[in-house]
Amino acid sequence: MGQTVLVTGGSGYIGSHACVALLEAGHTVIVLDNLSNSSEIALQRVHQICARAPLFIHADIRDAAALAAVFEAHEVDAVMHFAGLKAVGESVTMPLSYYDNNVTGSLVLLQAMEAAGVNNIVFSSSATVYGDPASVPIGENSPLNPTSPYGWTKMMVERVLTDWQHADAGRSVALLRYFNPVGAHPSGLIGEDPRGFPNNLMPFISQVAVGERDKLHVFGDDYATLDGTGVRDYIHVLDLVDGHLKALDFVAAKPGLHTINLGTGQGVSVLQMVAAFEQASGRQIPYAVVARRPGDIAQCWADPARARHLLQWEAQRDLTQMCADSWRWQQGNPCGYR
């Protein structure tokens, strides 16, 4: 049965891919986004891919009146809550902005949901809540120890959602802890479009491959990993959004609090990623090893067993496909949506 889903942050990187998956699955989609880190063109591309468009509301999640109006005008069954700020370094220099957008924004959203009697929410959390893990793979019961204001906002919103769910057994919450989302829709029409200097590895590599930047800086090659460079669990954004669709059905079927890692369970080093991208693009990726990036951890990958067990979900797409799809998007849109 199709649901009506409010997607906050739906014109962003992951949100736009979620819109495609939701529309393709027959759901009705309402996007609410303030476009602070995205372009409305992403939603036009979603329309192009699906031959159906989400309804777009240009608003901020901290705007209680705008949210109340959405819930009044539409019978929303569930919320997918992607909206928020996500740059770790920026969160250190602008912590109030992060607490305001991510924590206050989530509170305002939940108050509006509660007033409208909307009980189901799927929340974009992050593996960053685990901080530097004592061991890998990381299960959901691993200690939480965020190391940045951004990470703290995710942990705080998890706490708020936990208490909100506990207050009423009819409510249903999925806290999805993403590992490292990469890749793009295979059409090449939507993808990750960072503003300014990319903080993350994959967009940086693809900008080097397309000639937008000279070379990659590899942040340290003296970690205790297979080749000395940092190891992460990269997950294709289409697998990630498939996990969201499973979670949407799961929260509807099983009211409760569900904390679930979304990762592949496989670690990939920076140099392995460079090699895979060179293979996929046929381009050389020049790089230079530089100092470690402050705050980085050596390695991090998920134990995805709970997602397999609860959601019958498992990542399907390999590193080759992640690189090929990122490359198609980057080549077709060298300046992103601009």
Q: In the beta sheet, which residues pair with residue 28?
A: 4
Q: Which of 13, 99, 130, 150 is catalytic?
A: 150
Q: What are the DSSP E strand ranges found in 132-290? A: 172-178, 180-182, 216-219, 231-232, 234-236, 257-262, 268-269, 287-290
Contact between 200 and ligand WQD (CB under 6 A)? yes
Residue 209 interacts with, from ligand WQD, ligand NAD, none (CB under 5-8 Å by kind)? none
Task: Determine the interface stretch with ligand WQD among 25-33, 60-68, 214-222, 240-248 (rule: CB under 6 A).
Answer: 214-222
Return d(Cα 49, Cα 113) in angstroms, integer.
Answer: 30
- Per CB under 6 A, which region of 74-82, 211-219, 319-327, 330-338 contacts ligand WQD? 211-219
CB proximity list for 173: less than 8 A, separation 6 or greater: 120, 121, 123, 161, 162, 164, 165, 251, 256, 257, 258
276-335: which residues touch ligand NAD (CB under 6 A)? none
150 belongs to the catalytic site: yes
Residues 125-144 that bind ligand NAD (CB under 6 A): 126
Sole window of 91-99, 217-225, 244-252, 303-311 interacting with ligand WQD (rule: CB under 6 A) = 217-225
Are the beta carbons of 167 and 187 closer than 8 angstroms? no
Structural tokens at position 313? 């979900």
Structure tokens at 236: 């294709």
Q: Of 146, 181, 198, 304, which lies in the binding site for ligand NAD, with binding defined by CB under 6 A?
A: 181
> Is residue 187 involved in binding ligand WQD (CB under 6 A)?
no
- 93 belongs to the binding site for ligand NAD (CB under 6 A): no
Q: What tokens appear for 155 in the block?
A: 């942990």
Return the closest-CA partner of residue 298 out of 210, 231, 205, 198: 231
Identify the three-state secondary structure at position 177: strand
Which of 71, 99, 164, 178 is close enough to bind ligand NAD by CB under 6 A?
Answer: 178
Which residues are registered as beta bridge partners of 287? Answer: 216
3-state SS class at 175? strand
Residue 36's binding partner out of ligand NAD, ligand WQD, none, with CB under 5 to 8 Å set by partner kind? ligand NAD
232, interface contact from ligand NAD, ligand WQD, none, CB < 5-8 Å by kind: ligand WQD
Mask for 28-57, x = binds ligand NAD (CB under 6 A): -----xxxxxx-------------------
| Binding partner of residue 337 among ligand NAD, ligand WQD, none, CB cut-off 5 to 8 Å per kind | none
The Cα-based distances of 8 to 16, 161, 255 in angstroms read 10, 16, 21
Rule CB under 6 A: say whether 97 interacts with ligand NAD. no
Report, as residue numbers or ranges, the catalytic residues. 150
Residues near ligand NAD, by CB under 6 A: 9, 11-15, 33-38, 60-62, 82-86, 101, 105, 124, 126, 178, 180-181
